[in-house]
């Protein structure tokens, strides 16, 4: 029985998922979006520490294309979430949890770029699109990507 509008007798159209399924999908997308920023910061901080030896708020801000104030506020959120640490006027560091997240994110990012390239997307477009796409790729999809790329 339909959840509402019981006077409507037509069946659920085949080309639309059930209300519950559809709502569930959107909720997933929203929750993925909520963690996207944390993931981007974690990966970037890890990269900067790896290549520059340190991750400084202004560098982070420049790389993300935001003001330093925005970066500092986001770093504060990372600290609240237990992913990063920093002392006043010192650089930013990742906690073990932050490092783990960074590693996962970096691996996922590479897989996404590689898959895009493998199906014929030009390198630069793949890099750009992957930056947004990666946050919405589930573990299951990731496994499929790895398998497709022969890294199962």
Partner DNA sequence: CCCGATTTGTAGCCACGGCTACAATTAAGG
Partner DNA sequence: CCTTAATTGTAGCCGTGGCTACAAATCGGG
Q: Which residues bind a copy of itself (CB under 8 A)?
A: 3-4, 8, 10, 13, 15-17, 19, 22-29, 32-33, 40, 47-48, 51-52, 58, 62-66, 115-116, 119-122, 125-129, 131-133, 135-138, 140-141, 144-145, 147-148
> Smallest gap, in angstroms, from Cβ of residue 119 to a copy of itself?
5
- Alpha-carbon distance of 9 to 2, in angstroms, equals 9
Which of a copy of itself, DNA, none does residue 19 bind (CB under 5 to 8 Å by kind)? a copy of itself
- 60 near 70, Cβ under 8 Å? no
Long-range (24+ apart) CB contacts under 8 A made by 86-89 are none
Could you tell me which residues come within 8 angstroms of residue 132 by beta carbon, excluding any fewer than 6 positions away?
A: none
> Smallest gap, in angstroms, from Cβ of residue 87 to a copy of itself?
20
> Smallest gap, in angstroms, from Cβ of residue 144 to DNA?
27
Element (H, E) at 76: helix 68-80
């Amino acid at each position: 029985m339909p959840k509402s509008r019981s006077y409507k007798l037509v069946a659920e159209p085949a080309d639309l998922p059930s209300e519950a399924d559809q709502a569930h999908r959107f909720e997933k997308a929203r929750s993925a979006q909520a963690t996207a920023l944390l993931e981007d910061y974690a990966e970037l901080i890890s990269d900067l520490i790896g290549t520059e030896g340190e991750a400084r708020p202004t560098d982070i801000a420049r790389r993300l294309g935001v003001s330093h104030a925005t970066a500092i506020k986001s770093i504060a959120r990372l600290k609240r979430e237990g992913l990063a640490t920093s002392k006043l006027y010192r650089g930013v560091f990742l906690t073990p949890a932050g490092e783990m997240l960074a590693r996962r994110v970096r691996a996922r990012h590479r897989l996404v770029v590689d898959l895009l390239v493998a199906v014929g997307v030009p390198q630069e477009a793949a890099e750009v699109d992957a930056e947004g796409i990666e946050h919405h790729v589930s573990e299951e999809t990731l496994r499929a990507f790895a398998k497709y790329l022969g890294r199962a």
